[in-house]
A = this chain, B = another copy of it.
Amino acid sequence: MNKYAIIVGGGTGTRMGGNLPKQFMLLNAKPVLYYTLKTFFESYDDLQIILVLPLEYTDMGQEIIDAYFDKERVRITAGGNTRFQSVKNGLALVDKEAIIFVHDAVRCLLSKELIHRCYRQAVESGTAIPAVVAKDSIRLVTEEGNEAIDRNKVMLVQTPQTFHSKIILPAFQIDYKDRFTDEATVAESYGIKVSLVEGEENNIKITRPIDLVIAAKILGDRSQGL
């Protein structure tokens, strides 16, 4: 089936302290975004990439593509004011029936195996949302105070959130709601039950300076086959 990866680097990353959006921060001398793109490029030969960036950074994105990748396989578009709008802008470039991965640009440590797992599940059931079980004890804030909840039932959601185009394209026609924190919640508002797949502990978001240190360590271990 056709495959599109919408890589969303919408934010300008004020938490990192610097001025550069997080997806352009350097990790072992290459931008974070480079690693994200490389894994998607290598996951499937026929996968097309739609890169969504803040308007003022689309040129910087193009430079990374030109330097490292096959530009025939990539289109770049500007993001919106919300993640919902950014993803919607990316979806506007999907022109065939396909499996569509929506992925955070700053989750640069995902594996090809995760992409394949999401693909297989989305082909089968229409959706695939990677998630990992919580490792901490969890409490839920309630009106009366708070209560313990079985941590084995609490899943921390990751990306790539993966959908058949027949699901995600119409789902994104509904009006934006505040509770859309990811694409799965959009699909649910459209009436779809989403299915989970096993995520990856190392599939972290680079949002703080320390995350770059963690990412460098993970990449180092991988290059040594650990």
Contacts and interface: CB of A to CB of B under 8 A. Distances in A.
B129 A139 contact: yes
A134 interface: yes
A140 B155 contact: yes
Contact of A184 (B129, B137, B156, B179): B137
A118 to B, nearest CB: 15
Interface in A188-211: 188, 193-196, 207, 210
A148 B179 contact: yes
Interface in A111-140: 129, 131, 134-140
B184 A155 contact: no
B179 A158 contact: no
| Interface of A, helix, strand, loop or mixed by DSSP | mixed
B156 A141 contact: no
Interface stretch (A23-31, A52-60, A71-79, A212-220): A212-220
A176 B138 CA distance: 19
B181 A153 contact: no
A214 B218 contact: no
Interface string A128-172: 010100111111111011111111111111100000000000000
A151 to B, nearest CB: 7
Nearest to A218: B210
Contacts of A193: 144-145
Nearest to A131: B139
Given A131-B139, A139-B129, A154 B154 contact: yes
Contact of A136 (B139, B150, B157, B221): B157
A157 B138 contact: yes
A31 B217 CA distance: 21
Given A141-B154, A141-B196, A148-B188, 13 more contacts: A136-B157, A137-B182, A138-B155, A140-B155, A141-B152, A141-B153, A145-B193, A146-B194, A148-B179, A148-B184, A148-B185, A151-B181, A210-B221
Interface of A: 129, 131, 134-142, 144-158, 179, 181-182, 184-185, 188, 193-196, 207, 210, 213-214, 217-218, 221
